[in-house]
Amino acid sequence: MAQRKSHKKHVYTQIARLTCNHGRFRAHLNKIKLSEDDRCTYCKKERGDTNHIIFGCEVHKDKIDILLKDLQIMQLALPVNVNYVLAQDQKDINCRLYKHLASISPGSEGHLQL
């Protein structure tokens, strides 16, 4: 039971960070002077901001394609961006977004630092 609450807290924390545009992504870390490089951790080509990590990074194309299909099934119109997805304020959509983040950074669900 405690683990379930902890998981819910992690989901809430990550979604809150995304909503505030304070995700631990390179672009944000660079902005607050915690990283010298703002490029994506994975492809090292594009600016590593929230939308790139979640919807645009070529390294995670397969996972992104699955996420987009799932969001379509959840009645979201494509194309999407993080602000549009979060504006839906729907628990199932937020959980799907969290699972996507966890899948591209396995083992770090509580401390997603991309």
Query: Under the criterion CB under 5 A, does residue 114 sit at the interface with Zn ion?
Result: no
Residue nearer to Zn ion on the CB measure, 11 or 97: 97
Alpha-carbon distance values, 53 to 29, 90, 97, 101 (Å): 14, 21, 12, 9
Contact region with Zn ion (CB under 5 A), list: 18-26, 34-42, 63-71, 81-89: 34-42
In whole angstroms, how close is the CB of 28 to Zn ion at the nearest point?
Answer: 15
In whole angstroms, how close is the CB of 46 to Zn ion at the nearest point?
Answer: 5
Alpha-carbon distance values, 12 to 21, 59, 77, 78 (Å): 14, 26, 24, 24
CB 26 within 8 A of CB 48: yes
Q: 């915690």: which residue's tokens?
A: 34
Query: Under the criterion CB under 5 A, does residue 42 sit at the interface with Zn ion?
Result: yes
DSSP state at residue 55? I
Contact region with Zn ion (CB under 5 A), list: 16-24, 56-64, 79-87, 101-109: 56-64
Contact region with Zn ion (CB under 5 A), list: 3-11, 38-46, 85-93, 96-104: 38-46
In whole angstroms, how close is the CB of 30 to Zn ion at the nearest point?
Answer: 14
CB 64 within 8 A of CB 57: yes
Under the rule (CB under 5 A), what is the footprint of Zn ion?
Answer: 40, 42-43, 57
